[in-house]
Amino acid sequence: MSENIKKENKNVTNFIYDKINLKDLEFIFDGNSKITATNGTFINPRPNAFGLPRIISCPGATETCKRACYTQGIENNARDLYKKYKQNFINLNKILNNPEEYDLNELVDIFSAWISKNCKEFRWHVSGDVFNFRYAEFIRYICLNSPGVRFWLYTRNFNLEILSLLVTLDNLVVNISADADNYSVASEIAKRHKLRLCYFTIDGKIPEDLKPGSVIFPDYNLRGRDLEIPENHIWWTSLTEKEKSMVCEVDFFGQSEFRRCGVGCRKCLNFCL
């Protein structure tokens, strides 16, 4: 049974996490004000995510996302939480790589039981990505074991064997992450599998052929959340109405009780056909 072990307040976002154990190995589930979905409130979120360290768990990371990774803010401002992401990665690899010593099925059962009890919606990786095939299988097993939960993730790992494990799940929304470095291949993957493309821009430029239903994530310098009237931001005024409709509202306008993932915005949480 999981136990709440810490809550942090950093700037606007509240972070919280709970722990579970398999033998001597500890894992944490985390949550924050933005990605609460149907878990908790903006002020008092409840955990509904599983995180890993950035870059080292991201085989598809581009130079752009390495340079401007938003989870660097978590590493800098919620250091205890980020240490837990690193421990998740170390412990998970111990289990995946040592089947004689650890029972992977037991870990699947523990994860599934906690998630099914505590979450209606669950995000894989506030930080991190699907780092190999065995981990993709692990994610698949948990989704299958938790049919009453809606899962979602973003990935830059375009390995077809990995994607084939995940895109067929009825309760997992797979979003393809892109930026200027990988847009061509990412858009082709999204089209092939009928998946949503989520585009990260650091210079404000948007591909002209970005499809409706895609999501635009602006870098920090492009967000209007610190302005009295966010719509006055010069980047926002440069967008077409179609582009404005695709912008992540939580990132651009800022978080609140009524503007967070799953509450006020479900751009990334619904299946893209």
Predicted confidence (pLDDT) per residue in 200-252, tens digit: 999 999 999 999 999 999 999 999 999 999 999 999 999 999 999 999 999 99
- Asked whether 91 and 21 are in contact (CB, 8 A), the reply is no
Q: Could you read off the pLDDT of 181-190 as tens digits, one per residue?
A: 999 999 999 9
| pLDDT (tens digit per residue) in 77-128 | 778 888 999 999 999 999 999 989 999 999 999 999 999 999 999 999 999 9
Q: How far apart are CA 189 and CA 195, in angstroms?
A: 8
Q: pTM of this prediction?
A: 0.92
* Residue 42 pLDDT > 60: yes
Domain ranges of the chain: 3-265
Is residue 3 over pLDDT 70? no
Which of 247-260 are b and which e, b meaning 16 or more Cβ less than 10 Å from the residue's Cβ?
bbbbbbbbbeeebb
